[in-house]
Structure 1
């Protein structure tokens, strides 16, 4: 896995990786979250962050025909970490109620429960689905 740190125009540090749009890419995305949170001293967010990125990658793999996705983790002013996945589909995510016997359909509900907030930014060629986790202040 190649992890690249990229300075954002807003000055927020970030880690990004382009991955195949398939469910197996969730493993590399989880490692990226682990590395970023460790560098920023926010290890307490690792479990939630890894679950969120897994769901975002799975949703892109299941609901788009993109060949690649871009996973981005940014550290926003010591306040929150944003985890996002960009794909080339313009189809926006929609939460659908999952029945007791359903084996899928709970991803957005899980993200909603774990994240401080989440959303989707339409892009001219696709979309960015993101979720924020509130940081604990370092002493």
Structure 2
């Protein structure tokens, strides 16, 4: 298990963020949920915890299933005062996420559909130079309501 060893403070300057690298395997999902819950507790955003934990679980599952990466980086950020972003960074820029419907009898393939349903928006960003990216971050954002 993991827990934050350094307390994160929300300030009016800069963008509060937390990230940590973990093995790219399905069991990392439990660690990812704990990380998200810890950070949101520190930031007093517990009302977003269930949706953010579901999102990070699905993002980790997708990375573990669809990339050959050995390591991923989990990210929890506040890009603005009104948005929370959770994401997974991997070193497989050629395998981009696509939203596609799952058949009724499929046992998997609904991760991005779940994320699309609970997030306010989601997407991916390539990292590195435009011609030779070294990785991608798949992310989802939740709106922080006033007074959260």
Give the structure-1-normalised TM-score: 0.92
RMSD of equivalent CA atoms? 1.8
Could you tell me how far 1:6 is from its partner in structure 2? 9.8
Q: Secondary structure at the match of 2:59?
A: helix
Equivalent-residue separation in structure 2 for 1:137 and 1:129 (angstroms): 26
> Of the two, which has the highest radius of gyration?
2
Matched, 1:76 2:79: yes
Find 1:53's aligned residue among 53, 56, 59. 56
| Number of aligned residues | 137
Q: Secondary structure at the match of 1:66?
A: coil
Is 1:18–1:69's contact at 8 Å kept on the other side of the alignment? yes
Is 2:9–2:16's contact at 8 Å kept on the other side of the alignment? yes
Give the structure-2-normalised TM-score: 0.86
Find 2:123's aligned residue among 114, 119, 126. 119
Aligned to 2:32: 29
Give ranges in structure 1 of 5+ residues lacking alignment.
none
